[in-house]
């Protein structure tokens, strides 16, 4: 555990506009952004060691002791403030399995945890240790609100929070706990006004500074400049276009329930398959998901060629890698699932995703979020509902730890990310760990009532890709 590395992260005192949007649209519970991660451990973690470690980390990572406080009349994003009633016992829980101790029982425990909303008066995370699994194993169920971080940022923090050996050296005395300070209403108003004033001044300053270059660019290439503006406008229209109806004629039901499943695949053969089209792991992963969706529709006698997917595009760079919070743009676009040949399917998806990553509107995600946050929460929720409830499926690819990691003296054998559906019928998330790929499958039973069949279809599709190498 490297507290110095943790402290190198920059934790802003207010939510970003993107995080604030994620927070406010939960007025519609279908759009909740709860991330569940299941860690399978080779043994039960030492309770005292793990509790002490989490207390220590909660003192160094502000978000673990902060709650979200906003004001309906303020145009500034909500603040992150230290919870004056922070109680580690609420966030760190222990229980024993009472059934057969398989991963299925762990998922059965995790599902209702995921379906429960967060207590908004407390920090937005919970850990549940499940002891008594088969063969002396245990599990750790992590529940985190997406407003704290995205998948990539979460893995970076996780690598600093956990251990690289089973019995590391004594870390020494824990740092002082951060002091809580409850602002008065007057202080809140003044702080919000100051924040917005500084932000608008910064925006205006950047606009003035860039104006000469913009004018010179227009004079040198007026056609190119106008074409760029038109392309950006068209890209923006595609980003915000409503999609209220799923494209699938089969997976159309929606509810507040979830069903968790998983598949484990070998990492290197999947990478090798992607290289057949000069692609990367994500291309093989998407082709596997698309092929599984086609198989599922075929199983039910339903013909389908295109389905609408949401895929987060990571916009981190060297200048923002140290910042906590979310740094992705959710791209929504139809994908071809009806291509039978797996190589052709990988190639088509590789080209399609490359096009999405080049969308000019990606650079405007922050201004768009800023604008939407100024609308009433009901209006913002309605806009996002129109954008997200027509999504058929969500995919996400998160690179995990390349080396073994430990928690409380227990080695993590696998970790499975089960990301939110936010209005879709399913979210299929890839999280790598050492030499394996763990596929977390989160399905809505109202859309996919036969989850076992759906998982079999995905497995057959991935097996088809693995047989290419």
Active site members: 146
Nearest partner of 35 among 138, 135, 148, judged by Cα: 148
Q: Compute the distance between CA of residue 273 and CA of residue 383 in angstroms, rounded to an integer.
A: 39
How many other CB atoms are found less than 10 A from the CB of residue 166? 14
Nearest partner of 155 among 53, 265, 39, 296, judged by Cα: 39
Question: Does residue 171 sit in helix, strand or coil?
Answer: coil
Q: What's 258's DSSP letter? A: -
Q: Kindly report the length of the chain.
A: 469
Q: Which residues contact 204 (CB under 8 A, 6 or more apart)?
A: none
199's tokens = 């932000």
Q: Compute the distance between CA of residue 139 and CA of residue 127 in angstroms, rounded to an integer.
A: 10
Q: Report the side by side order of strands in the sheet with 92-96.
A: 92-96, 125-131, 138-145, 34-41, 410-418, 406-407
Nearest partner of 407 among 100, 10, 59, 37, judged by Cα: 37
Alpha helices in 326-410 (DSSP H): 342-357, 365-373, 377-388
For 138, phi then psi, to 5°, come to -145, 175
Angle value at C-alpha 58, between 56 and 88, nearest 5 degrees: 95
Q: Compute the distance between CA of residue 141 and CA of residue 143 in angstroms, rounded to an integer.
A: 7
Nearest partner of 252 among 208, 210, 302, 206, judged by Cα: 302
Question: Could you give the C-alpha distances from 128 to 144, 289, 431, in angstroms and in order?
Answer: 12, 30, 20
Question: Does residue 176 sit in helix, strand or coil?
Answer: coil
Q: Give the position of tokens 């979460």.
A: 154
Nearest partner of 1 among 153, 158, 175, judged by Cα: 158
Find out whether 180 and 82 touch, Cβ atoms under 8 Å. yes
């Amino acid at each position: 555990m490297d507290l110095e590395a943790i402290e190198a992260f920059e934790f802003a005192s207010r939510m970003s506009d993107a995080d604030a949007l994620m927070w406010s649209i939960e007025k519609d519970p279908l759009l909740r952004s709860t991330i569940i991660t299941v860690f399978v451990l080779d043994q039960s973690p030492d309770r005292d060691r793990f509790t002490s470690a989490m207390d220590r980390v909660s003192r160094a990572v502000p978000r673990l002791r902060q709650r979200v406080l906003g004001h309906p009349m303020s145009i500034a994003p909500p603040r992150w403030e230290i919870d004056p009633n922070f109680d580690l016992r609420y966030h760190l829980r222990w229980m024993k399995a009472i059934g057969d101790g398989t991963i299925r029982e762990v998922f059965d425990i995790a599902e209702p945890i995921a379906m429960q909303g967060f207590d908004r008066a407390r920090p937005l995370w919970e850990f549940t240790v499940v002891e008594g699994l088969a063969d002396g194993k245990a599990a750790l169920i992590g529940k985190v609100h997406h407003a704290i971080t995205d998948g990539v940022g979460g893995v970076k923090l996780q690598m600093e929070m956990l251990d690289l050996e089973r019995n590391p050296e004594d870390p020494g005395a824990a740092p002082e706990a951060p002091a809580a300070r409850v602002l008065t209403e007057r202080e809140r108003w003044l702080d919000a006004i100051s924040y917005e004033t500084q932000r608008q001044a910064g925006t205006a300053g950047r606009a003035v500074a860039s104006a000469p270059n913009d004018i010179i660019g227009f004079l040198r290439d007026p056609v190119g400049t106008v074409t760029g503006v038109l392309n950006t406008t068209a890209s923006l229209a595609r980003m915000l276009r409503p999609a209220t109806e799923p494209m699938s004629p089969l997976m159309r039901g929606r509810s507040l329930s979830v069903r968790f499943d998983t598949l484990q695949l070998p990492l290197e053969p999947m990478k090798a398959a992607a290289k057949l089209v000069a692609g990367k792991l994500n291309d093989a992963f998407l082709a596997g998901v698309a092929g599984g969706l086609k198989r599922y529709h075929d199983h039910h006698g339903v013909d389908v060629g295109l389905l609408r997917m949401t895929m987060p595009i990571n916009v981190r760079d060297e200048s923002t890698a140290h910042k906590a919070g979310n740094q992705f743009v959710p791209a929504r676009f139809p994908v071809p699932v009806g291509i039978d040949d797996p190589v052709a399917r990988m190639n088509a998806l590789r080209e399609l995703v490359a096009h999405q990553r080049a969308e000019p509107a990606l650079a405007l995600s922050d201004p768009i979020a800023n604008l939407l946050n100024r609308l009433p929460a009901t209006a913002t929720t309605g806009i996002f509902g129109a954008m997200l409830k027509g999504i058929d499926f969500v995919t996400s690819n998160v690179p995990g730890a390349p080396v073994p990691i430990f928690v409380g003296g227990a080695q993590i054998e696998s970790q499975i990310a089960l990301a939110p559906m936010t209005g879709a019928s399913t979210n299929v998330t890839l999280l790598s760990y050492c030499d394996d790929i763990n596929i977390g499958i989160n399905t809505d039973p109202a859309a996919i009532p036969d989850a076992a069949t759906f998982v079999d279809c995905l497995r057959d599709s991935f097996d088809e890709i693995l047989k290419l190498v």
